[in-house]
């Protein structure tokens, strides 16, 4: 196993490609809840618009792989672009790579892109129980909303289980 400092410097951030989607879906399977729908499984189609879209993008953190030089995906973040803000609906770091700088590097790249595009602010939703991510964001200067409460309603679970 690599030491913490080796892991921190051995990944790179790049734009997601279509061929990354199956790994992204697998990594998303480890998330306890997606969009308040217990038992929901993500599909490649749920992420396809983040790859090469005008109003959306996905960044991935990768490390050199051992299988024929293939990269291993260790984290990702999805971004919807608006004229004056970025909204980050999904951010996942692979188990074993958490607390090794992957999430921080992904967020730093989103912030760099936001500055380049003259975006005013970044929004991210976090589950109330996820104290780790809430602390992660506060340390980086993000502040929780005092007025926003998110609601959802399941209409159909067709093709989701």
DSSP, residue by residue, 4-53: HHHHHHS-EEEE--GGGHHHHHHHHTTSS-STT-TT----HHHHGGGSS-
Domains and their CATH numbers in the chain: 4-139 (3.40.630.30)
pLDDT tens for 47-67 read 888 887 789 999 999 998 766
- Between 33 and 125, where is the model more confident? 125
Average pLDDT estimate for 73-80? 94
- Residue 41: φ, ψ to 5°: -115, 135
pTM above 0.75, yes or no: yes
The pLDDT tens digits for 84-125 are 999 998 899 998 898 999 999 999 999 999 999 999 999 998
């Amino acid at each position: 196993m690599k030491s913490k400092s080796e892991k921190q410097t051995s990944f790179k951030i790049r734009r997601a490609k279509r061929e990354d989607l199956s790994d992204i879906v697998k990594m998303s399977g480890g998330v306890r809840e997606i969009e308040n729908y217990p038992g929901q499984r993500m599909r490649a189609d749920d992420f396809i618009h983040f790859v090469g879209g005008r109003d959306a993008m996905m960044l991935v953190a990768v490390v050199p792989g051992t299988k024929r030089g293939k990269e291993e995906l260790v984290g990702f973040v999805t971004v919807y672009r608006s004229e004056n803000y970025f909204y980050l609906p999904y951010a996942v770091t692979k188990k074993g790579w958490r607390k090794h700088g992957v999430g921080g590097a992904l967020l730093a790249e989103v912030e760099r892109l936001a500055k380049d595009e003259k975006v005013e602010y970044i929004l991210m939703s976090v589950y109330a129980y996820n104290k780790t991510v809430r602390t992660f964001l506060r340390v980086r200067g993000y502040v929780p909303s005092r007025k926003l409460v998110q609601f959802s309603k399941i209409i159909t679970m067709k093709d989701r289980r």
